[in-house]
């Protein structure tokens, strides 16, 4: 039998606090979503004044990073580089800002952020993950 790592509520709190700190440090109003390895929502936060549309986008980015087992930047780049047929992949959000959480080479979840430039969304997500994995 294989031992499986998974995100606990305390893990999600560590990620969320660090991501929020990164966003507030830069005066960025964002939504932050944390999902498990199957893309199911574990934790969510919408900072004050963040656009309503960012709620679904952050969750989509997190789910996409989890189900594709890779950062969503790669998917955005793929489409931007001309592979528009990729847009037919069901359930994938083709915007940077979804980052997988990897432990010992295994995906255990992902963080998705929306509300500012996609590269800044990814920066916030990574800050949260770095707080957990150090």
pLDDT 10s per residue in the chain (134 long)? 989 999 999 999 999 999 999 999 999 999 999 999 999 999 999 999 999 999 999 999 999 999 999 999 999 999 999 999 999 999 999 999 999 999 999 999 999 999 999 999 999 999 999 999 98
CATH architecture of structural domain 9-133: 2-Layer Sandwich (3.30)
Q: What's the pLDDT at 134?
A: 87
CA distance 64 to 31: 16
- Beta carbons of 133 and 101 less than 8 angstroms apart: yes
User: How many residues comprise the chain?
Assistant: 134
CA distance 41 to 58: 11
CA distance 96 to 93: 9
Q: What's the pLDDT at 56?
A: 98
- Beta carbons of 58 and 97 less than 8 angstroms apart: yes
pTM (predicted TM-score): 0.97
Q: Which of 116, 99, 98, 95 is nearest to 30 (CA)?
A: 116
Beta bridge partners of 43: 34
Domain boundaries, given as residue ranges, for the chain: 9-133
């Amino acid at each position: 039998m294989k031992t499986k790592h998974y995100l606990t509520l305390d893990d999600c709190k560590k990620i969320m606090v660090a991501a929020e700190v990164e966003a507030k440090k830069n005066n960025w109003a964002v939504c932050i979503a944390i999902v498990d390895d199957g893309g199911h929502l574990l934790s969510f936060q919408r900072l004050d004044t963040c656009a309503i549309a960012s709620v679904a986008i952050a969750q989509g980015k997190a789910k996409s990073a989890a189900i594709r087992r890779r950062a969503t930047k790669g998917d955005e780049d793929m489409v931007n580089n001309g592979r528009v047929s990729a847009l037919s992949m069901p359930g994938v959000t083709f915007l940077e800002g979804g980052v997988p959480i990897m432990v010992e080479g295994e995906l255990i979840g992902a963080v998705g952020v929306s509300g500012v430039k996609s590269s800044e969304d990814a920066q916030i997500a990574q800050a949260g993950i770095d707080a957990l994995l150090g």
